[in-house]
Chain A
Amino acid sequence: MATARPGWSRRAQLGLFISFLALIAGVIVGLILLGLSLVAPKTFQGVRGAALDVTAPVTGALHEVTDTVGGMVTGAGNYWDAAHQNSKLKAERAQMVRQIIRAKAVLQENQQLKAALQLRERSRDAVATGRIVGSSFNSPRRFAILSAGSSDGVRIGMPVRSPDGLVGRVIDSGMLASRILLVSDRANIVPARLLRNGIPVISQGRGDGTVDVRPLEVGRNPFKRGDIIVTSGTGGLYPPLVPIARIVKLDDDGAIGMPLADPSTISFAIVEPPFEPAAAADNPAEPDAP
């Protein structure tokens, strides 16, 4: 045990003193680096990306294992009560076919109207697709690890989505993997609107897998349970009309939504280029413009 005086040995006393100095130096160096990474986050981009390349392949390999084992368990579970499931699925399918026919008609009408207006749609190709293999499960922040990196064309600031909805945006990218700021992170603010009536709202993560949704204009609470929130495209980072969340609970001046793309269940995530090429990586969508 380190006591006030480790005996009469001058050398031992000096050693103790130097270890104190080393720890004080450690605190000072740490504070300087912390200040740098808070003020100028770009300073450590390279080294953070390199660290991702070290950890993410391990995470990815382990993810394959757990995925396979989990798949076997759920696969066996699907045989249980199969007859009942089958009849339920058949009913759902019949309903879905009717909806698809209706949607096709709307799509056709939409195309005709757009042709009449001579609107041109910019084609949006995916930059890369990857799997979500890990997450920041021991931090107050909500990050996820995506198994696609700068060698696939992923750059910092690019939006990430899945077929179900918006996942987040890239904040660190290594050669083989990248780190995503999920929509449920507190620092991720997404300009959005209500799909039902187009009212502009803002979605901000709550750090626990849900998002806070607030209307831009103060007044009556415009939300209903079950409402879908989609991106508005404001700010130019996220493409418009990507589903974000479903409203699950109302509170006094807004609502709480559950993201439609749950990172723990989606199988693939798609990295897209920023909607407006001018939207720089380091100033993501700010909610100041409705």
Chain B
Amino acid sequence: MVRAALGSKRKIGQGPVRFATAVPAASVVAASFLCALPIISNFGWYPDFGFLALLSWRLLRSDPWPAWWTLPLGLVNDLFTGAPIGLSIALWSATMLALDLIDRRTMWRDYWTEWVVAAVLLAINEAIQWKIAAVMGASLPLRAMLPSFLVSICIFPLAAWVVSRIDRWRLGQ
């Protein structure tokens, strides 16, 4: 990149890190693994870290990983979080598909549009989790999902920032 020459001297001649193509997927797996944190909570208000990472990567780049990698990523998330197996596989693939279709329609976008798109997808994610919990015999009122939805929306810019930092690091920029 020509711009790299204008940056600090330290970065000249520095290319992408090794396995740069695997970094996005690995970071999503790492985010899914955050559910192994020893937090014992009586509320499910924490955000879905894996899904936030997936959204952030997909909104940053149109091809963070080969499309079919979404399937194993979803499986890993299901296994780590203890959700019924298949939930994240279907949901994450559908999310990637939806974002592909949105990309075809939108002419331009900015941070606000991305935040709104993320909010809508996070809402769908929460609603489907709620529906699946109801099917499995745990029918809660829908407003029980509101706190975790709001927390996810507020955390999204942070997730997007972390992901953009990881992206710059992996590309050596």
Which residues of A are at the interface with B, using a C-beta cutoff of 8 A?
1-4, 18-20, 22-27, 29-38, 41, 44, 47-48, 51-52, 54-56, 58-60, 62-63, 66, 132-144, 172, 179, 184-187, 205-209, 262-264
Contacts and interface: CB of A to CB of B under 8 A. Distances in A.
B166 interface: no
Interface string B81-118: 11111111111111011001001100000000000000
A140 B89 contact: no
Interface stretch (B3-11, B16-24, B29-37): B29-37
Given A55-B80, A133-B38, A47 B85 contact: yes
A141 B138 contact: yes
B74 to A, nearest CB: 6
Nearest to B137: A187
B70 interface: yes
B157 to A, nearest CB: 18
Nearest to B76: A51
Given A26-B67, A26-B71, 5 more contacts: A2-B103, A26-B70, A30-B86, A137-B40, A172-B82
Contact of B129 (A48, A58, A139, A186): A139
B37 A59 contact: yes
23 contacts: A1-B103, A20-B67, A20-B97, A26-B68, A30-B86, A30-B87, A32-B86, A38-B84, A47-B79, A48-B79, A51-B80, A55-B35, A135-B40, A136-B81, A138-B49, A139-B83, A140-B138, A140-B144, A141-B133, A187-B138, A209-B42, A209-B43, A264-B41
A134 B40 contact: yes
B82 A48 contact: yes
B86 A31 contact: yes
A66 B38 contact: yes
Nearest to B100: A2
A264 B130 contact: no
A206 B91 CA distance: 26
B136 A38 contact: yes
Contact of A138 (B35, B70, B74): B35
A218 to B, nearest CB: 21
Nearest to B41: A137
Contacts of A66: 38
B44 to A, nearest CB: 5
A145 B75 CA distance: 19
B88 to A, nearest CB: 7
